[in-house]
């Protein structure tokens, strides 16, 4: 991760609603925080575009494409989106907060998956991707770091950051 301060948003409340509490992950384009939705009194994940990229139109379009793509999807094996917004020039996506680990983390202590578990995970991932493809969305970055394994063996596809939208998608209102 570049030397950008991951804690710079801690304690901030976005749109008088989402109180950022803890950094839970980061990638090349964004930082993800655990937050409280004060209106609905629930824990959520808030993905904030890196400040260093916010002035780059290419990265802003990519982030907005991700927002539009995942907002179109409703599938049990795809991370749910609750809100997309812009506050004080901060672009962010509000998603369900998952208690689990990436497939990469899941595999580390286990090594290889057994045949049944591998088939179970593969069927879930294929179902999620099929749903996305039927909506005209190609993920383009399926890897263990973008697959979340939650309790009970459910797999959720995350991070549509470089998704390709094959169909025309209406712009998201800010």
From the candidates 7, 88, 141, 171, which is the catalytic residue? Answer: 141
What would you report as the CA-atom Rg of the chain, rounded to the nearest whole angstrom? 16
* Burial zone of 24 (CB within 10 Å; 0-12 exposed, 13-18 middle, 19+ buried): middle
Q: Which DSSP symbol is given to 40?
A: T
83 is catalytic: no
Distance of CA 159 to the CA centre of its chain: 4
Q: What stretches of 42-143 adopt beta strand conformation (E)? A: 42-49, 81-87, 90-96, 100-102, 137-138
DSSP letter for each residue of 92-118: EEEEEPP-EEEHHHHHHHH-SPPHHHH
Tokens of 144: 């263990």
Name the region of 15 (left: φ>0; alpha: ψ -120 to 50; beta: rest).
left
Query: Catalytic amino acids?
Result: 141
């Amino acid at each position: 991760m570049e030397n950008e301060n991951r804690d710079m948003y801690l304690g901030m409340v976005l749109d008088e609603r989402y109180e950022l509490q803890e950094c839970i992950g980061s990638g090349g384009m964004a930082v993800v925080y655990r937050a409280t939705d004060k209106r609905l009194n629930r824990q959520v994940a808030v993905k904030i575009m890196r400040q260093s990229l916010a002035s780059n139109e290419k990265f802003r379009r990519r982030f907005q494409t991700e927002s539009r793509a995942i907002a179109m999807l409703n599938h049990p094996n795809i991370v749910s989106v609750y809100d997309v917004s812009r506050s004080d020039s901060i672009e962010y996506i509000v998603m369900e907060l998952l208690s689990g680990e990436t497939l990469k983390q899941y595999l580390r202590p286990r090594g290889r998956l057994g045949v049944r578990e591998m088939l179970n995970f593969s069927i879930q991932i294929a179902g999620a991707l099929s749903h996305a493809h039927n909506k005209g969305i190609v993920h383009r970055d399926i890897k263990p770091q973008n697959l979340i394994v939650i309790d009970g063996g459910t797999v959720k596809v995350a991070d549509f950051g470089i998704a390709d939208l094959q169909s025309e998608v209406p712009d998201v209102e800010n």
